[in-house]
Amino acid sequence: MNLESIAEQAIDTAKRAGRYALNQRATLQQQHIEIKGEHNFVSHIDRQCEQMLVNDLSLALPQAGFIAEEGTGSPNADGLNWVIDPLDGTTNYIHSLAPHAVSIALLEHNTPLLGVIYEPNLDECFWATSQSPAYLNGTRINVSHTPTVHNALVATGFPYYDYTRLDGFMRSMEHLMRHSHGLRRLGSAATDLAYVAAGRFDAFYEYGLSPWDVAAGAIIVQRAGGSVCDYGKGNNYIFGKEIIATNTLLHNEFTQIIAQYIPHQTA
């Protein structure tokens, strides 16, 4: 399997879908927005972009299945699967805010082989394969060299449906507000992870996420020299609905802080 060639095709289709969504944003009206769940929205543009991704990626790798946010395509239980989010950050998108991103990952038996994240507002495409470094628009990227949480800029995402760990999450934010350079919440987990890979953030954590939110970003962070785990310091961060990503240097310190406030949740 030529991962570089497949990645190039994934990059092309991510850019096509992302630019289409950006161009269509001005046409989006309230009646086009559906509510899937509390604080969880979808529009016809999400679905059109997802169909675009499925069509193109099926041509690139016909044997692969799909794990897709809007349910287009079907998963392959035994082998390769594309994990796609056509519009990560839909709430931002429907309010004409940046960032929002297209996220594409290829998994083999749940192990990431490649990841692509395209943020169309800044025309930034982050990508990596399991055999390559991480790149931003063709330039190699690396995580930051910040050695301690005290000097770190941290990203997170707010829970929007699972409030069972909210008290601990709020305490973790208070700790990081007091003992870091600050917290940021962009509203797109894929973009947060890409920014860790590029050294813009030093660490990111969030719970309540889905595979299509994190699969691409996880491999990009790792190939940029970062570390990724779940809240229990294990490897169930794609399907386990919780993730920590850091620049590696402060990984142990940061995971200990999160564990202090937010318990690891097993399936």
Query: What would the DSSP string read from start to end of 18-65?
Result: HHHHHHHGGG--GGGEEEEETTEEEEHHHHHHHHHHHHHHHHH-TT-E
The identity of residue 242, as a single letter, is E
Give the count of alpha carbons within 13 A of 192, CB side only. Answer: 28
Of the listed ranges 59-73, 89-103, 111-125, 216-230, the one predicted with least confidence: 59-73
Taking only Cα atoms into account, the Rg of the chain, rounded to an integer number of angstroms, comes to 17
Query: Quick check: 245 pLDDT over 90?
Result: yes
Mind listing the pLDDT tens digit for each residue in 142-187? 999 999 999 999 999 998 888 899 999 999 999 999 999 999 999 9
Query: How far apart are the C-alpha atoms of 195 and 208, rounded to whole Å?
Result: 20
User: Which CATH code for domain 3-141?
Assistant: 3.30.540.10
Domain boundaries of the chain, sorted by first residue: 3-141, 149-261
Q: Extract the runs of DSSP E, i.e. beta strands, from 44-147.
A: 65-68, 80-88, 101-108, 111-119, 124-129, 134-136, 139-141
Query: Model's pTM, two decimal places?
Result: 0.94
> Any residues with CB less than 8 A from the CB of 92 and at least 6 apart, and which?
98, 99, 100, 186, 187, 188
Classify domain 149-261 at the CATH class level. Answer: alpha beta
Per the prediction, the chain carries an average pLDDT of: 92
Q: Which pair of structure tokens corresponds to residue 265?
A: 């949740």
With bands split at pLDDT 50, 70 and 90, how would you rate the model's confidence at 138?
very high
What is the three-class DSSP state of 69? coil
Do the first three CATH levels of 3-141 and 149-261 match, i.e. the same topology? no
In angstroms, the CA 107 to CA 127 distance is 14
Greater confidence, 100 or 266? 100
| Cis before 120 (ω within 30) | no
Query: Could you tell me which of 79, 80, 102, 77 has the C-alpha nearest to residue 22?
Result: 102
Contacts with 260 (C-beta within 8 Å, 6 or more apart), sequence order: 172, 175
Nearest CA among 141, 78, 135, 156 for reference residue 110: 78
Q: Residue 68: which residues within 8 A CB-CB, separation 6 or more?
A: 50, 53, 54, 82, 83, 84, 85, 86, 212
Q: What is the pLDDT of residue 30?
A: 58
Tens digit of each residue's pLDDT (9 = 90 or more) over 16-55? 999 999 998 777 655 555 555 444 445 678 888 999 999 9
